[in-house]
Amino acid sequence: MHAYNLPAVDTKSPSDEEIQRAVALLRRGGLVAFPTETVYGLGADAGNPAAIDRVFAAKGRPASHPLIVHLADTAALPHWARDIPDTAHELAQRFWPGPLTMILKRARNVLDAVTGGQDTVGLRVPAHPVAQALLQGFGSGVAAPSANRFGRVSPTTAQHVRDELGDRVDVILDGGACPVGIESTIIDLSGSTPLLLRPGRITAQEIEALLRIQLGRAGPTAPRAPGTLAAHYAPQLPLRLVSAGMLDAAVREAAVQRPVAVLARHARPGYSTAAVWMVAPLDAAEYARLLYAGLRQLDECGCAMIVVEAPPDTADWAAVRDRLARAAAASASGGGSGAAEGSGRRTTDNGT
């Protein structure tokens, strides 16, 4: 198998013995956090109802929110999906293993708990060598949402998982930092027209060029899919997304009463009133790789809010814009936290 045009992964890798122990734990119904090229997943045997229940409990995730099943290779597709269209095989041949999730009609044996009660299931073949070793050793599907509390910023290192879930997870396989850093692209192939449900590293333009069609956009009848709620991917601090031209004014306004952290694509001007200023990469893929780690770092800087310079409105930035817009929406809606003014801390219940 080949991986879809991904940067080199971290050289850190669990031993064969650690992989074997993790496989045995999955077979006993345990929870294993493991790295993929996108983010760390919280894995459980996708055919074990009790194990799936543990995933939802560990994350505080609503039962109606579906999970993505991770497979070792495309040969497993017929066990998990039915009426598989030719477009799925085309996408799998080009982009798997890689950061693409396909929504397909579910096979009869797939658990309702995995699909959120829907007639569809999300499937993906990850490219990370640690994920591949785990899946090949396990020999079946592993349901794995991101290994964090529901609605929070996704984890891209093993330490992020420890910070988020602690002893709620039985084993954490440390494969270093995830090289893509944001969640997979999600394409719905369960209907007559392929739909883009979530942008990711694999762009809509790449998929359209391969399939020689124009993707539709998700509407009210589209299947529910992970990471597509309006308020999502939220840091603990309130996050405000502003245009480059409005950044300085927004920081001055916010910093009058409280310390402000900034994530911008240019160096800090000498007159800025921001307490903390983080310079983000100019390249979209590198920005995405570092985004969640950066938001976690800003969460701990002692400020009361994060002001983010909006990235460019171009196709290569679509996935980053999507994640930041949902994070800002979580702040605008209050994230269901009811955090006290000035506390600078909140929790969310939005979705991962």
Q: What is the pLDDT of residues 89-112, one digit of tens each?
A: 999 999 999 999 999 999 999 999
Question: Does the pLDDT value for residue 3 go beyond 80?
Answer: no
pLDDT at 5: 58
26 with 172: CB under 8 angstroms? no
Q: What is the DSSP string of 154-206?
A: PP-SHHHHHHHHGGGSSEE----S-SS-SPPEEEE-SSSS-EEEE--SS-HHH
Band of residue 151 on the pLDDT scale cut at 50, 70, 90? confident
pLDDT at 321: 96
pLDDT at 331: 75
Give pLDDT tens digits for 295-327: 999 999 999 999 999 999 999 999 999 999 999
pLDDT at 4: 58
* Averaged confidence pLDDT in the chain: 90
Q: Which fold has domain 16-217?
A: DHBP synthase (3.90.870)
Give pLDDT tens digits for 278-287: 999 999 999 9
Question: Does the pLDDT value for residue 253 go beyond 50?
Answer: yes
Q: Which fold has domain 239-336?
A: Rossmann fold (3.40.50)
Question: Does the pLDDT value for residue 238 go beyond 80?
Answer: yes
Domain boundaries, the chain: 16-217, 239-336
The pTM assigned to this predicted structure is 0.91
To the nearest 10°, report the CA torsion of 252, 257, 263, 268. Answer: 50
pLDDT at 292: 97
Please state whether 5 falls in left (phi above 0), alpha (psi between -120 and 50) or beta.
left
More confident residue, 155 or 3: 155
pLDDT at 12: 77
More confident residue, 151 or 340: 151
Mean pLDDT on 256-279: 94
177 with 37: CB under 8 angstroms? no
Mean pLDDT on 53-78: 95
Give pLDDT tens digits for 5-27: 566 555 578 999 999 999 999 99
**Percent of the chain residues topping a pLDDT of 90:** 81
Percent helix, strand and coil across the chain, each to the nearest 5? 35, 15, 50
Nearest CA-CA partner of 68 in 108, 41, 95, 32: 41
Band of residue 334 on the pLDDT scale cut at 50, 70, 90? low
Q: Is 1 helix (H, G, I), strand (E, B) or coil?
A: coil
